[in-house]
Amino acid sequence: MILGVLLLASNVSALPLARSFSNTLAGILSSKKKLTFDAQGNFKVVSFSDMHTGERPGDGSWAAWGPANDAATQVVHATVLDNEKPNYVVFNGDMITGENVFKENATNYLDIVYAPTVVRKIPFSSTHGNHDNANNINHAEEIEYEQTRYAELSYTRSDAGPKPYGNGNYWVPVYVKSTDWVPAAVLWFFDSRSFVSGTGDGPGPIPPAANYYWVDPNTVPNYIKLQRLLMTAVWWKVPPALVFVHIPVQKAQDLISLPTLGDHDDDAGLSTQGFLNNTYNGLDLPFWNEIVALNGGKGNVLAVTSGHDHGSSWCARSEDSSGIPICFNGHSGYGGYVTEHSVVRNGRVFNLNLADLATPVPTVKTWNSYEDNTTADAVTLGPEYLTAEKSGTA
């Protein structure tokens, strides 16, 4: 019934009707200031991942290196933000090393993570990682805290997915100008769930409702599909998209052997979505298949970006990923493990540009921006990127 009305609405004479139906889309909120491209037609996104604040020794004791690492993480973020001057910041999961924090002040660590972005008044939102679900903190608590405390700057929502471990699924529109009602780009955010047990006193039991290492296949694919159909009915198009999800999809594993710029220290292997007890069960595919549908065979999905593997900061695509670029964030935090090439911390930058989005197949420029004031690994993701390459493994 509703879809029938919406299809009627895609008649030119019914434009005002379509505009009012636009408000039925989950990401259209009159309470939020519209995000817009700047006068030069750019909307720059800096994505930070794996901050891992609140770490403390495994024996449960306290040590000065935890707070010192958190302060160093803030310097990384401040440096990258001052160099890149982004329009938006994405925190792509593992904000907190949840298994180490105290229940009474766990969310204080979100204040530490967001502070450099908040003092610069940059709008932001977050995805949530495996370490953000633990005995003393979970995704729902982090989301509610962020929404309440940072009501003005935070665009994080909870449109779909099981609470409290997997409900951070939503999208955010970006417009050419604030009077527009059809966005020029959409940022999508997904919750790859998982849980890290223990409170510093060793591992504990994992709640059955948290023992899932992939985006929820029961609710999220339907959510993506419904939003895509509504966008098509109301806007007559699915806008070009950047996708963020903390744990990489299993398709990422096939791409690591391709000759790409950036660090390749981590073999995604058993740490991709869809693994339980070292066995791949394919349960990340319902989510991935809806990303492929969002791509529409037209390059609509500019990149699917993950953190989780601190030693990976490359972007690649192949037939195995249905031509969709899969990117890694690298490591922006002083918490968490460090690999040989991830010692100098970084954020990954995407510069959405209106001219690049207007080509028959849209493109986006991306690079890594480092705490030592350098940048590297700049590439343009689109139909020319890695066209001749095939994945080494199938």
Q: Which of residues 106-125 bind ligand NAG (CB under 6 A)?
A: 108-109
Site for ligand NAG, residues 345 to 384, rule: CB under 6 A: 372-373
Whether the upstream peptide bond of residue 205 has omega within 30° of 0, thus cis, is: no
Residue 212 binds ligand NAG (CB under 6 A): no
What does DSSP say about strands 364-370 and 375-381: parallel, antiparallel, or unpaired?
A: antiparallel
Q: How far is the CB of 328 from ligand NAG (least distance, A)?
A: 23
Does the protein bind ligand NAG through residue 61 (CB under 6 A)? no
Q: Nearer to ligand NAG by C-beta: 25 or 101?
A: 101
Given a contact cutoff of 8 angstroms between Cβ atoms, the answer to whether 191 and 170 are in contact is no
At 271 the three-state DSSP class reads helix
C-beta atoms surrounding 385 within 10 Å:
17
Name the segment binding ligand NAG (CB under 6 A); options: 100-108, 142-150, 225-233, 260-268: 100-108
* Range list of H helices, the chain: 2-9, 15-21, 65-84, 108-119, 139-149, 220-235, 285-295, 354-358
Nearer to ligand NAG, 205 or 297 (CB): 205
| Encoded amino acid at 114, one letter | Y
Q: List the interface residues with ligand NAG, window 229-258 (CB under 6 A).
A: none
Kindly state the smallest distance separating residue 375's Cβ from ligand NAG, in Å. 12
CA atoms of 87 and 42, how far apart (whole Å): 9
Q: Which stretch binds ligand NAG (CB under 6 A): 38-46, 101-109, 129-137, 302-310?
A: 101-109
User: Among candidates 213, 91, 230, which has minimal Cα distance to 173?
Assistant: 230
| Region of 30-38, 103-111, 194-202, 356-364 interacting with ligand NAG (CB under 6 A) | 103-111
Among 19, 41, 102, 197, binds ligand NAG (CB under 6 A): 102
Q: CB under 6 A: which stretch of 17-25, 105-113, 162-170, 304-312 binds ligand NAG?
A: 105-113
Residue burial 19-46, b: 16+ Cβ < 10 Å; e: rest: eebbeebebbeeebebbbbeeeebbbbb
Residues binding ligand NAG: number (CB under 6 A) = 10
Q: Residue numbers of the site for ligand NAG (CB under 6 A)?
A: 62, 79, 102, 105, 108-109, 276-277, 372-373
